[in-house]
Amino acid sequence: MSNQGKQEILLESGTNEVEIADFQLCGQHFGINVLKIKEFLPFEGLKIVPMVDAHPSVSGVFLLRDRTIPLVELDQHLTLKRRTRPKHEVVIVTEFNRTITAFKADSINRIHRASWEVFEPLSSFLNVSSVVGTLTLDGRDVLVLDLEHIVGEIFPQSVITYTKEGIHDSTESQEGRDNTKIFFAEDSNLIRNMVTNILTSVGYKSIKAFPDGQSALDAIEGCMKQAESEGKPITDYINVLLTDIEMPRLDGLSLCKRVKIDHKLPIPVIIFSSLVNEQLGFKCESVGADANVSKPESERLIGLIDELALKRPATG
């Protein structure tokens, strides 16, 4: 995949589209968001060094441009049944949550562009926590993997970091947190619960969580109608929107664009995603986001919510 290919999608903001790399594993087609992929490598020729006390799904590590990268055996982690092993396996090198991880696959097919609107959340298949949903591409079902969950199971420290000592807890901030209304859009049930628990533990008690951007937008538009009918400001109903980027039905960038640009709501929006980097930062700004933060950095997330929500002007 060329750098130009990545840049083309990075130039577009709020289109509710995603590029999916389609690959095969044990006869099944799987998909990964292209923005999480650094490169593809042939497995043949890589020198894999076993790790002491490694997770059972990690076959070892290899050296790539002076970086030591763990190699995950996806078929083993997903408990797939394998009859034969292909002669020319490939390695998908990914980067997200500020972590580089490699995954072994049987073959790479092609890259597809699709809308999140046609993405179907999955209720039951395989290890459901590792599969976020399915897309029909070229007439076949492609299961889109939740790489954050997979890597989180193998390397728990890569998902969410949090220490109570890193949080400022003045009496004023505690009172402000107690009265702050947060809307939180995140499709991963694991991360949705973890972040909600962390925010609750520091005093943010009014949190409404949604499994996708469309559900959050519907709720916000409902608040807009209620605010108009009752003659109250929208900030009486919501004070900050926290959203992931990758979500079915409506992604986080499109959600932010609808809230900040289309509806012009005076609500701070924080993008909280494993995809956040310098390039994605420009994309977040283009849709009106007030801040963005990578998912492992929960202390910074709390600091941003404090900064943007607690200093909001008083409503009358």
pLDDT, one tens digit for every residue, the chain (316 residues): 444 444 444 435 667 888 899 999 999 999 999 989 999 999 998 999 998 888 999 999 999 999 999 999 999 999 998 888 888 999 999 998 778 999 999 999 999 998 888 887 765 444 467 888 888 888 888 999 988 888 888 887 766 666 555 555 555 566 788 889 999 999 888 788 889 999 999 899 999 999 999 999 999 999 999 999 999 999 999 999 999 998 888 999 999 999 999 999 999 999 998 887 767 778 899 999 999 998 878 888 998 999 998 874 444 3
Report the C-alpha gap between 271 and 284 in whole angstroms. 7
Would residue 203 be called left, alpha or beta, if left means φ above 0 and alpha means ψ between -120 and 50 degrees?
Answer: left
Per-domain residue ranges of the chain: 3-157, 160-309
Q: Which residues contact 82 (CB under 8 A, 6 or more apart)?
A: 26, 75
Q: Which fold, 3-157?
A: OB fold (Dihydrolipoamide Acetyltransferase, E2P) (2.40.50)
CA within 13 Å, CB half, 237:
18
Classified as helix, coil or strand, 30 is strand
Burial 110-139 (b: 16+ CB within 10 A, else e): ebbebebeebeebeeeeeeebbbbbbebee
Domain 160-309 coded CATH 3.40.50.2300: yes
H or E element at residue 176: helix 171-178
Question: What pLDDT score was predicted for residue 168?
Answer: 56
Is beta strand 120-121 parallel, antiparallel or unpaired with respect to 131-137? antiparallel
Same CATH fold assignment for domains 3-157 and 160-309: no
pLDDT score for 2 = 41
Nearest to 36 by CA among 165, 162, 146: 146
Instruction: Say if residues 244 and 187 touch (Cβ distance below 8 Å).
Output: yes
Neighbours of 260 (CB within 10 A): 20
Closest by CA position to 47, among listed 68, 21, 75, 26: 68
Element (H, E) at 240: strand 240-243
